[in-house]
Structure 1
């Protein structure tokens, strides 16, 4: 029942209104009583003074019984709600206008009497009620003098037992009942209004909760209906916008995971295919050598062995590149980084491939800017980048062509460019050249190429915070370009 925020708010409002109602009724009752006593006490403040001036209640320290009885008789006829008490100077009760056995106090405290006789006394001021050992009531009092000496006090309780009975009857009157009913109706209206307001305020929370529940139940995560619409800029709206941002990130990550999983499946399929082909061929030639060793000529045996070695070499290159790519994928940053000269590194790598280029009748040229400052990175990784780019250029450049490598400085970066005059890359294939196991010409079998060289280049440059660009035109050549900060 109390599992929702709305039900808890409704219960809290109900209990709060009940508490306010009880407190308000008690406060109104207490305030009305105090106000009544204040009015009565102010109106009858000089009542005791007038009576003392009119009647000689104490003469020669003796009670004037005749005057006292006469006074009690007159006041009982005129105003039976008040009670008169004759006190001595210590507050002892000497006489009273009450039946025998009603008076329970033998003495009245004098401190309220002294406060009453001061001109700045606060109202209502309550004194001891002789008929109630624990009660206090509004009163009027006047000192009785014999000459200049106080002989006692005339102490008047302004709201006696009859007054209490009348007030109790008024408490059950129609007016008070009607007022209480009006107050209860007002509380009920306030409760209903509060519930409606809470319903409006929590409606957006319920909407956000429904969106979250539908999103968590696995509905289409990129569905626009599963996003919280922005209406204002309060706390609920900011919470909804945070959910939208979280949902977008989750959807993005889920899409990335799907893409990675698809790439993984494709990579496994490519690895299986690329491993199975040379392994099958290698096994076939070796089995042929084993079964027909006596029937094959020496030249055929040598040819079969060279073919088996070629496929074995291809397997070795593929396994080596796979391990290298796996190692690069496990890295989050470059570990062994140091400043080095890119020109010197390019010159060393170019000399290493010079002989291979000459064997293929390809011109290998290096253009180096001598003013190129050092760069910061892993020199072994950058050497692998240059080697893979040169191997790629030499592999796709026909005899008589050229491969050029250039190092220059541009806008605070060292720019490395590897260009060839080979067959080029069709425009639709350019976005895929850095994918793993990608070979543009699938019909051409190359034992020295496993389709991982450019993927390794991409990953190494990514670890160095750089990216590689490709510019190519079919039958005109290809340019690979990357930048490293000084």
Structure 2
């Protein structure tokens, strides 16, 4: 059965229900009629079982060593006149019709199968169907008894209990008011059952229609429809309706995740805009300075002294290094953001790595009269991480600390045992991070006003690297101690 696919679920269920109801009703009527007919056949055959035996006991049927044809014919006509529903035949021992009283042209076969006759005489369960001589393929209930002449079986009396006239009466009765009343009653039952089924299906599918409307509004209006959909989804999710409740709950969770992801995307988009703005700001200063000094060298090349030219070139070179370092950090951050870089982990002692990184910054610290102080606990376990990446983390943190620590200050790196891993703390005696920047320092490069300390791309790179190692970096509050950054490795 092909249903229109634009139909709603309730209509489809109702259509299927109507088809099933009609089919079941039709089968029920057919079974009732068949069972009623079979019951009637059994009752008829049981009540008339002795009819053929009573006929066979009539002594007038036998004359000498044979049959009295005239008596047989007269008796058969008399019986069929008294009871038109029966048809009487006399069969020989092979089942051939030896005598009958049917009108000319009504006999369609000249013999009867004797197997049902023997079953009836043997007491088999009723009803037993036998051949109808007036039909080529019909089988009807019958009564049969052997016909004996001087103790010898010469044939059978065979009585069809549902003759032609009875079949005609049954056919006429099929058009009677009783049958019409029965059919109208069944039709009324089907109609009322259809109405009840349609109403039940609409009631059952009502939550599903509400959920469908909510989904369609979400598809049409987007995130703006979520706020209106929350009460409906909450009601459907808490309602005890099995799969519909589970579906509503799943959709509610999905919309919540979509809303969270949408907020995250909005925040990331805002962060990306701020990143571009801050990077542009950070690039514009050294580029402007570089351009200015190079332009001055070009315009005053003949009037500048050797010392001034050398000083201008040194300043331009320094600004060029800033631009190069910023470009390198942007490239490195992009590779970390898009998953190009994967950690190649190995086991190593973190204390040895700290000493190696300290050696890289000894000259820079001495130039600023700063002290690099390692505080390493005894018995630290080895860590499993990418050696190059962790070196980059320590390098960025130390570089950041040295640049923001005044002359005569100190930078401290602490290694502490933390469960099965190591906790790393990098602190300095600089001005610290302004409160307005602490919440965003790892998400975007921030620049404080008035020469105060901010956060650049280096801290963002540190956070991405640690996230690849299943860790994260935190800014620890420390009064009067500058900035303190902490992370763990296992």
Q: Same fold (TM over 0.5)?
A: yes
Aligned length, in residue pairs: 481
In structure 1, which of residues 269, 272, 276 is the aligned counterpart of residue 277 of structure 2? 269
CA distance in 2, matches of 1:254, 1:194: 43
Within the alignment, does 1:468 sit opposite 2:476 as a pair? no
Contact 2:223 2:259 in 1 (8 A): no
Q: Does residue 458 of structure 2 align to residue 453 of structure 1?
A: yes
- Helix, strand or coil: the match of 2:433? coil
Could you list the runs of 5+ residues in structure 2 that have no partner in the other structure? Answer: none
- Residues 1:103 and 2:110 are matched in the alignment: no
* SS of aligned partner of 2:369: coil
Distance change in 2, residues 1:171/1:450 (3 Å) = closer
Q: Does residue 1:32 correspond to 2:32, yes or no? A: no
Moved over 4 A (4+): none
Partner of 1:143: 146
Please tell me whether residue 424 in structure 1 is matched to residue 427 in structure 2. no
The Cα of 1:82 is off from its aligned counterpart by 1.3
Cα separation, 2, equivalents of 1:331 and 1:187? 66
Show the 5 A alignment for 1:168-247: 168-220=171-223, 223-226=226-229, 228=233, 229-230=236-237, 231-232=239-240, 234-247=242-255
1:453 and 1:56 mapped to 2: Cα distance?
A: 130
Cα distance in structure 1, aligned partners of 2:172 and 2:59: 35
Partner of 1:388: 396
Q: 2:373 matched to 1:368?
A: no
Distance 1:12 1:435, change over 3 A: closer
Cα 1:385–1:273 change in 2 (3 A) is same
- Please say if residues 221 and 247 of structure 1, whose CA atoms lie closer than 8 Å, have aligned partners that are also in contact: no
* Aligned equivalent of 1:125: 128
Q: Partners of 1:204 and 1:55 in 2: how far apart?
A: 84
Q: What do the CA deviations read for 1:217-263 (whole angstroms, capped 9, x no partner)? A: 23326724435321125222222322233333333333322222222
Aligned to 1:442: 449
Q: What is the TM-score with the length of structure 1 in the denominator?
A: 0.92
- Map 1:145-160 onto structure 2 (within 5 A): 145-160=148-163
Question: Using a 3 Å threshold, how does the CA distance of structure 1 residues 77 and 383 change in structure 2: closer, same or farther?
Answer: closer
Identify the match of residue 404 of structure 1 among 395, 412, 419.
Answer: 412
Q: Is the 8 A contact 1:13 1:191 kept in 2?
A: yes
| Matching of residue 115 in structure 1 with residue 140 in structure 2 | no
Tell me if 1:279 matches 2:279.
no
* Mapped partners of 2:104, 2:183: distance in 1: 40
Q: More deviation in 250-259 or 93-102?
A: 250-259
Q: Secondary structure at the match of 2:442?
A: coil
Q: Give RMSD over aligned pairs.
A: 2.3
Matched with 1:480 is: 485
C-alpha contact (below 8 Å) 1:81/1:163 kept by paired residues? yes
* Deviation digits for residues 430-485 of structure 1 (CA, Å, limit 9, x no counterpart): 2222233223x334399xx9821211211111111111121234644222111111
Cα distance change, pair 295–317 in 1 and its aligned pair in 2 (3 A) = same
Contact 2:381 2:420 in 1 (8 A): no
Any conservation in 2 of the 1:417–1:481 contact (CA below 8 Å)? yes
Name the CA distance, whole Å, in 2 between partners of 1:243 and 1:7: 24
Q: In the alignment, what sits opposite 2:55?
A: 51
Per-residue deviation, 1:156: 0.9
Choose 225-234 or 343-352, whichever is displaced more.
225-234
Cα distance in structure 2, aligned partners of 1:332 and 1:292: 47
Equivalent pair of 1:333/1:463 in contact (CA under 8 Å) = no
Note the alpha carbon deviations across 1:26-60, whole angstroms, 9 max, x for none.
33332222222111111010111122223431334
Which residue of structure 1 lines up, in the alignment, with residue 299 of structure 2? 291
Per the alignment, do residues 150 and 73 of structure 1 end up closer, same or farther by CA in structure 2, a change over 3 Å counting? same
Comparing 179-188 and 373-382, the one that deviates more: 373-382
Instruction: Determine the C-alpha separation between the residues in 2 that align with 1:61 and 1:246.
Output: 100
Q: Distance in 2 between matches of 1:223 and 1:204?
A: 18
Any gaps of 5 or more consecutive residues in structure 1? none
